[in-house]
Amino acid sequence: MPSPAPAAIAPRDKAEILAQALPYIRKFHGKTMVIKYGGNAMTDPELQADFAEDVVLLKLVGINPVVVHGGGPQIETALNRLGKKGQFIQGMRVTDAETMEVVEWVLAGEVQQDIVGLINQAGGKAVGLTGRDGGLMRARKLKMLDNADPSKEHDVGQVGDIVSIDPSVVKALQDDQFIPVISPIGFGDENESYNINADVVAGKLATVLQAEKLVLLTNTPGVLDKTGRLLTDLTAREIDELFADGTISGGMLPKIAGALDAAKSGVNSVHIIDGRVPHAMLLEILTEQAFGTMIRSH
């Protein structure tokens, strides 16, 4: 069934919307924005199209978007097709050599090329990269200590920790009007591959590129307080307090930890937004209205 046509906007309203966006366009012109793309925005066809349009529009108004993507559900599907059972330790996927092969062809193949195709279809010029391209992302094996007994270490296979990021390939593409789409795969000293958490990659990349903003698309409205109310504007110090009193826990912990690192390392603002809202990214960046949580560096 075709999707309903968007409601017609009166020309006067259109002009008003554009006029309101103008100060933001002026403020962010020429600045870099790192976007972590995941969740429903990545699997729902209509939200996929909205995301691609948003990225292309940002590029056209002079903002430099860099996309980092995950792909947990797609990896799970591929492993199931091969009859391989996923094993997790403390929420981390154990990645043996065979699993790593699957991770690479799902992330750097299928998922990345889907995103590149969507952006190109929307009128942009996207280029797919992994950490190996241009020596972008060096990694080493992640040391995972046991939560209960820190003297004990778990072997989670080819899961990586970032050693260094060389952003020159990303900068070269940006200068040439391309939109980089990055798979979170790093490489080690022996040219081995490592699967790295995409939120961590986005946070570190935003820091190295001295991005104006880091935007994390999630399946939640943002950071909620203990009563379930959305907290729209937080400082790094307030986030530390929410960690301490247990307001932020579970799956939100790694996401916010990466966001907090970026905010403390010079990224002006980090936005954790609801990717289930059509065009949430544009609304968050180019309007006064909050569609998620903004973490300010100070």
Binding site, by residue number, is 71-72, 93, 195
Are 131 and 187 in contact, with CB atoms under 8 Å apart? yes
Residues 231, 175: contact at Cβ < 8 Å?
Answer: no
Residue type, 194: Y
By CB atoms closer than 10 A (0-12, 13-18, 19+), residue 273 is buried
CA dihedral 114, 117, 122, 125 (to 10 degrees): 130
The single-letter DSSP state of residue 111 is I
Quote the radius of gyration of the chain (alpha carbons, Å).
Answer: 19
Q: 264, 255, 186, 261: which is closest to 216 by C-alpha? A: 255
Annotated binding site for substrate: 71-72, 93, 195
CB crowding 66-77: b at 16 or more within 10 Å, else e: bbbbbbbebbee
CA 291 to chain centre: 16
